[in-house]
Amino acid sequence: MKIRVRINKQTSCVELQGAEPSVKDLSDVIRETLLEKHGVSSQTDFNLSLNGSDFLTDGSQTLASCDIVSGDLVNVVLPQPAAPPSPPPSAPRLAPPSAPPSISSISAQQRLQQVQQSSGSSSVDALMDCEDSSDMRPSASVWEPMLCSEAEPGRAPLSLELLYHAVCSPDDAVMVAVHLLMLETGFVPQGGELRPDEMPAGWKSEGGVYKLQYLHPLCEGSVVTAVAVVMGPLLVINMMLKVAEKVDTVRKLCVKTCSYVSEEWSGECAAAAFRDLRRLSRVFKDQLAYPLIAAARDAMALPVAFGLPALPPELLFRVLRLLDVRSVVRLSSASRHFHAATADSMLWKHLYYRDFGARVSSSSSSRDSDWKAIYMNSYRMRCELRRRTVPPFFNYAVLPGDFGFIPALPGIIGGEYDQRPLPLHPLMPRPRYDPIGPLTNPVRRPTGGRPFNVRRGFI
């Protein structure tokens, strides 16, 4: 059992062994492990309380009989120090003009009275909260709204820290993060909403099997069941979607626990235990959460709720204008919706002006022009022009330096490069067809065993 203990406005976590630990066991653990860490002597007498006013005096009483379960907060009430003797009265003197007293200069008793007058509470927690809010010094840890996809190394969302008390192993830590990611995606645990620090009942069994069930407001009538099994270093997560009591979709994800939980796992806090929460959020949502929502809405004949298909035509057109033509063509084969969106003539008109940068003739630029066909014809003409400007037998190579494109191999067989294999200028070789190029009908004469010379035909 894990219990949160608060000493001097600082909260720590202790773990109790045994099936039914008692109040005395909790006191002994606090005395041995926590008091000296908070600057309190281990010989100091203290009391335990749940609300700050009622003390747990019977040490033989079990925690379960006191309605204390794993994750509850127990306050350690230390004895108040004796008040120092008041100084003797002195002659009154005028105080120099100064700023009004700050909130932190008000005594604790006055602040407690203010809290009692405003809320009618006299608990120690109210005084602690009042002290925390009135302290003008910067706090050691400032919690900000954060998703798992925004978590930086060494930090974790507050929602994950609140759920972390139920973690007893690295696999438990991954499943707690999975539960939080389902909540971030909009899923609600079946059976009603829970407290921020509460996991669903029966989420973990003794055999290492985890089971969670969720509903989604965008997919009414569908239930998503998550079943995870530990298989060596892997945690296999199976998501089953039921629509109208029929299994519609089953998706599977294998997670390597050591990739997202620190190997030196100590169980102190979520920020120290988890690593690469951004990647876990991206992988889980892209492969399980979002596809399940899309499958549920598709099975119920509902329109899509997120992604590019959910965008209005104006926004989708602005996105398509940013893509290259190859991506637009590939996107057109994804679905009928994208095929119709990428066939828009105004989109291809924008792509034509962007890629070619030239205006077409007035006869072909009317409102009824097929800009997709114009783009395709212009693209073919450009490719054909490039093909004609470079000889098919001429290979280019890029050499280091400022030489640009230089022929890598000389040209036709039988030229002077065959007779002279070592050119005088290796960096600037002359092509074989220089100076007159290849002959269409070369003169073939008997050479009598001598090497053939192509220039002999012009002598």
Pair 402, 427: CB distance under 8 Å:
no
Please check whether residue 110 lies inside any domain of the structure: no
Q: What is the pLDDT of residues 274-290, one digit of tens each?
A: 988 999 999 999 999 99
Q: Residues 359, 413: one domain?
A: no
Q: Return the top range by mean pLDDT from 195-209, 298-312, 439-453.
A: 195-209
Q: Residues 44, 58: one domain?
A: yes
Do the bridges between strand 2-7 and strand 73-77 make them parallel or antiparallel, or are there none, so unpaired?
A: parallel
Give the domain CATH number at 262.
3.40.1000.30
Q: Rounded mean pLDDT of 170-190?
A: 92
Among residues 219, 162, 236, the alpha carbon closest in space to that of 185 is found at 219
Domain end among 77, 97, 114: 77
pLDDT exceeds 90 at position 194: no
In sequence order, the 6+-apart residues with CB closer than 8 A to the CB of 241 are: 222, 223, 224, 247, 248, 249, 250, 251, 292, 295, 296, 299
Q: What is the pLDDT of residues 232-265, one digit of tens each?
A: 889 999 999 998 878 888 999 999 999 999 877 7
Which is more confident, 318 or 305?
318
Report the alpha-carbon distance of residue 194 to residue 237 in Å, rounded: 22
Please report, in angstroms and rounded to a whole number, the separation of the first and last CA atoms in the chain: 105
Please check whether residue 21 lies inside any domain of the structure: yes
Q: Residues 285, 257: one domain?
A: yes
**pLDDT for res 129:** 46
**pLDDT for res 180:** 93
Pair 181, 285: CB distance under 8 Å:
yes
Which is more confident, 269 or 127?
269
Domain end among 389, 412, 446: 389
**pLDDT for res 421:** 55
Secondary structure (H, E, C), the chain: CEEEEEECCEEEEEECCCCCCEHHHHHHHHHHHCCHHHCCCCCCCCEEECCCCCECCCCCCECCCCCCCCCCEEEEECCCCCCCCCCCCCCCCCCCCCCCCCHHHCCHHHHHHHHHHHHCCCCHHHHHHHHHHHCCCCCCCCCCCCCHHHCCCCCCCHHHHHHHHHCCCHHHHHHHHHHHHHHHCCCEECCCCCCCCCCCCCCECCCCEEEEEEECCCCCCEEEEEEEEEECCEEEEEEEEEECCEEEEEEEEEEEHHHCECCCCCCCCHHHHECCHHHHHHHHHHHHHHHHHHHHHHHCCCCCCCCHHHCCHHHHHHHHCCCCHHHHHHHHCCCHHHHHHHCCHHHHHHHHHHHHCCCCCCCCCCCCCCHHHHHHHHHHHHHHHHHHHCCCCCCEEECCCCCCEEECCCCCCCCHHHHCCCCCCCCCCCCCCCCCCCCCCCCCCCCCCCCCCHHHHHC
Please check whether residue 131 lies inside any domain of the structure: no
Q: Residues 370, 398: one domain?
A: no
Q: What is the pLDDT of residues 30-70, one digit of tens each?
A: 888 888 777 777 778 788 887 777 777 777 788 888 878 77
Q: Residues 239, 166: one domain?
A: yes
**pLDDT for res 412:** 53
Give the domain CATH number at 71.
3.10.20.90
Pair 286, 294: CB distance under 8 Å:
no
**pLDDT for res 351:** 92
Please check whether residue 120 lies inside any domain of the structure: no
Q: Residues 156, 38: one domain?
A: no
Q: Rounded mean pLDDT of 220-229?
A: 90
pLDDT exceeds 50 at position 195: yes
Q: What is the pLDDT of residues 318-377, one digit of tens each?
A: 999 999 999 999 999 988 889 999 999 999 999 999 998 865 554 455 556 789 999 999
Q: Residues 400, 429: one domain?
A: yes
Please check whether residue 414 lies inside any domain of the structure: yes
Report the alpha-carbon distance of residue 127 to residue 117 in Å, rounded: 12
Q: What is the pLDDT of residues 395-412, one digit of tens each?
A: 444 444 444 444 445 555
Among residues 365, 391, 368, the alpha carbon closest in space to that of 378 is found at 365
Q: Rounded mean pLDDT of 169-193?
A: 90
Please check whether residue 353 lies inside any domain of the structure: yes
Give the domain CATH number at 381.
1.20.1280.50
Domain span at 415: 394-459
Please check whether residue 123 lies inside any domain of the structure: no
**pLDDT for res 94:** 40
pLDDT exceeds 70 at position 310: yes
Q: What is the pLDDT of residues 371-381, one digit of tens each?
A: 999 999 999 99
**pLDDT for res 414:** 57
Q: Residues 56, 194: one domain?
A: no
Pair 166, 70: CB distance under 8 Å:
yes
Share of the chain above pLDDT 90, in %: 24
Confidence band, pLDDT 50/70/90 cuts, at residue 85: low
Residue 339 has φ and ψ, to the nearest 5°, of: -65, -40
Share of the chain above pLDDT 70, in %: 67
Please check whether residue 121 lies inside any domain of the structure: no
Domain end among 368, 389, 410: 389
Confidence band, pLDDT 50/70/90 cuts, at residue 82: low
Q: Residues 185, 247: one domain?
A: yes
**pLDDT for res 422:** 53
**pLDDT for res 104:** 35
Confidence band, pLDDT 50/70/90 cuts, at residue 271: confident
How many domains does one find in the chain? 4
Q: Residues 291, 158: one domain?
A: yes
Q: Residues 220, 282: one domain?
A: yes
**pLDDT for res 449:** 55
Supply the mean pLDDT for the chain. 74
**pLDDT for res 370:** 87
Q: Rounded mean pLDDT of 406-432?
A: 52
Is the link from the previous residue into 96 a cis peptide, with omega within 30 of 0?
no
Which is more confident, 195 or 80?
195
Q: Residues 379, 438: one domain?
A: no
